[in-house]
Amino acid sequence: MTSGNTEKEPGMESPVAEVIPLKGWRKVLAERMLSSHLTYAEVTQMREVDATELVNLRQSLLSRLEEKYRFRLSYTHLLIKVTAQALHQHPIVNSSLVEEEIRILSDINIAVAVALDDGGLLAPVIRQADRKSIVEVAQEAIKLTEQLRARRFNLDCLKGGTFTVTNAGMYGTDFVTPLINAPQSAALGIGRLVPKPVVRDNQIVIRTMMGLSLTYDHRVLTGATAAQFFKTLQDIIENPKQMELGV
């Protein structure tokens, strides 16, 4: 990062205040995102789901898990499990397109986008998330995030993801359209939790709503297939007693 001068660059109306070289992680991220945008037939579906019961579930688990395991359960942890469970029910979404073959993958490895203090973005992988308990998922996610932010991580932790989850809700975002993380076929964007008036049984009630965005490769998934997966995600979030928590 270098300080700019007061001279104007050719064709620019304002003087340059600062120059940030496009190199290192910035260059890698830029190249991968541009490649994703140019290569994939990306389509995004969005829907608002009722997360009231998910909020209640987290609240019921929070103190017990914190006291027993010394970690604080987050919505991201729960949504990793929800996503893994939905992928198990819709294997085609957990796939990669390689040349002229759609390869359905046997392991469900959830990559979770983590923002770094310097503006970087990395996605460590929770391997076989569908087979792990919520405690194992949360502990692994916390450990990987701490290692990334302390710059003490092995590059292997970034490899092998089959689906990506990115939670923009913590920054106050309602909806986000994530780019697909190659060679995956889909990615889920999570928005913030917001109390809203909604109609239930012809009555206006306050529920905690959450915006979700599913970006997928239309070469691999039809709109109907993506919608079916999305509906399963919604059903589990709205009825979290279906969740296989392992606790």
**Alpha-carbon 82 to chain mean position:** 12
pLDDT of 1 above 70: no
- What is the tens place of the pLDDT at every residue in 140-172? 999 999 999 998 988 899 999 999 999 999 899
What pLDDT sits at residue 11? Answer: 60
Query: Can you tell me the distance from the alpha carbon of 81 to that of 79, in angstroms, rounded to the nearest whole number?
Result: 5
Q: Are 54 and 239 in contact (CB under 8 A)?
A: no
Arithmetic mean of pLDDT over the chain: 92
% of the chain beyond a pLDDT of 70: 95
As a whole number of Å, the CA-based R_g of the chain is 20
Decide yes or no: CATH 3.40.640.10 for domain 42-242: no
Residue extent(s) of CATH 3.30.559.10 domains in the chain: 42-242
Query: Can you tell me the distance from the alpha carbon of 108 to that of 161, in angstroms, rounded to the nearest whole number?
Result: 8
- What is the tens place of the pLDDT at every residue in 171-193? 999 999 999 998 999 999 999 99
What average pLDDT score do residues 238-247 get? 93
The answer to which of 50-64, 66-80, 149-163 has the lowest mean pLDDT is 149-163
Query: Can you tell me the distance from the alpha carbon of 68 to that of 139, in angstroms, rounded to the nearest whole number?
Result: 12
pLDDT of 37 above 80: no
Helix (H, G, I), strand (E, B) or coil at 24: coil
Is the sign of the CA dihedral 141, 143, 149, 151 positive or negative?
negative
Q: Which of 219, 235, 244, 224 is nearest to 49 (CA)?
A: 235
Q: Is 218 a catalytic residue?
A: yes
Tokens matching residue 140: 């692994």
77, 88, 90, 218: the active-site residue: 218
What pLDDT sits at residue 116? Answer: 84
pLDDT of 47 above 90: yes
Report the 10 Å Cβ neighbour count for 69.
Answer: 13
